[in-house]
Structures are given as C-alpha cells and as structure tokens.
Amino acid sequence: MENKQKMIVPKQDDNYTHNIHRDNERKLDRRGFMKTMAGAVGVFAVASLPWGTLAARELLGLAPKQEDNLLKIADIAQIGIGEAVNFTYPSKHDPALLVRIGKDEYRAYQNSCPHLKCPVFWNKEQQELLCPCHHGKFSVITGDPIAGPPKRALPEIKLKIEGGAIYATGVKPYEI
C-alpha cells in the first residue's frame, strides 16, 4: 500500500500531462494537422509560382516564339562548300553544327548525339556526320541515324539566309 502511494505524482507537481483534458488534446491534434496542411499548401504554392508563371505566359502567347529566337551563325562568304561551322543554339549550352552541303544548300543540327550525348562532328573527307564515341553516323540531309547505336535523328535547326548571312530561327519539332 505504501509503495503504490509513492508512485503517484501529486497533480500540482505535474504540469505536463494532467493539465490537458482528453477533448482538448484532440483539438490540439486537429489544429496541428491544419497548421501543417496550411504550411504545406503555402510552400507548394510558392514553389510552383515560377512554373505557373511560365505556363501562363505560354498559354497567353506571351512567351517568345522560336521564330523570334534569331541567331546569326556566320556570313555565307566565310563557309566554303563542304565545310561546317560550330555554334550554340538556342542556348549557350546547346552545341550545334551548320554544314554547307551545296552552293545554296545548308543543314544545321544540334550535335549532341542522341545515344549518349557525345559531340557529333562533320567529317569533311567522308562528307558525313560522325559520332566518334561508338561510331554513330547520321545523314547530313535529314539528320537520321544511318549507322551505329543511335536510334533517333539529330534535332534539326531551321535556317534563314538574309543579307549575306545565315541565321538560326528555331529548332524543328520531332516528327512522330
């Protein structure tokens, strides 16, 4: 009997549990949950704001169109027939290649190999687009793979000639 009395903590000395009524404890749980949810919704809203803005610009037609994304690649006089020029398009992180395949005929492709992203080169002697990593080859006329492991074509860049210079105007979408 004496032992049992010793184990009971007098209420005035215990401010941590006995001052919360069971019903209040439930309210606190619900309130805590709601606060957590409100916080999560707030964080999600702030985090998705940049993407929402981009999507809205795209939907409202305010985003820059690819045709507006004009880049001068070179003066035509600087490129001999059968020669190539390296450039980057549409961003500085997208390497690309322009090949003059005839007097008035040009092709340009983004030159990251679709296989494992090695840079594709213009082999002037063989007149072919070559990926040296696994001997992938691409048609300079279409950008389609013609040898090696690549299965997809090089993305083609649209071109425009004006005032003796050649410009990139956009990247052609993949045809499915």
Q: Does 113 bind ligand FES (CB under 6 A)?
A: yes
User: Which residue, 118 or 159, is less far from ligand FES as judged by CB?
Assistant: 118
Q: Which of 116, 141, 146, 161 binds ligand FES (CB under 6 A)?
A: 116
User: Which residue, 24 or 86, is less far from ligand FES as judged by CB?
Assistant: 86
Give the whole-angstrom CA distance, residue 157 versus residue 173. 9
User: Which residue, 70 or 116, is less far from ligand FES as judged by CB?
Assistant: 116
Q: Which long-range contacts (CB under 8 A, 24 or more apart) does 109-112 make?
A: 109/138, 109/143, 109/154, 109/155, 109/156, 109/157, 110/154, 110/155, 110/157, 110/171, 111/86, 111/154
Give the whole-angstrom CA distance, residue 164 versus residue 113. 30
Strands 121-123 and 71-75: unpaired
Q: Does 118 bind ligand FES (CB under 6 A)?
A: yes
User: Which residue, 63 or 116, is less far from ligand FES as judged by CB?
Assistant: 116
Q: How far is the CB of 156 from ligand FES (least distance, A)?
A: 17
Q: Does 136 bind ligand FES (CB under 6 A)?
A: yes
Q: Does 152 bind ligand FES (CB under 6 A)?
A: no
Give the whole-angstrom CA distance, residue 133 versus residue 93. 20
Q: Does 95 bind ligand FES (CB under 6 A)?
A: no
Q: Which of 76, 94, 115, 123 binds ligand FES (CB under 6 A)?
A: 115
Q: Does 133 bind ligand FES (CB under 6 A)?
A: yes
Residue listed under structure tokens 């213009």: 122
Measured CA distances, 23 to 26, 159, 161 (Å): 5, 72, 78
- Applying CB under 6 A, which residues contact ligand FES? 113, 115-116, 118, 131, 133-134, 136, 148-150
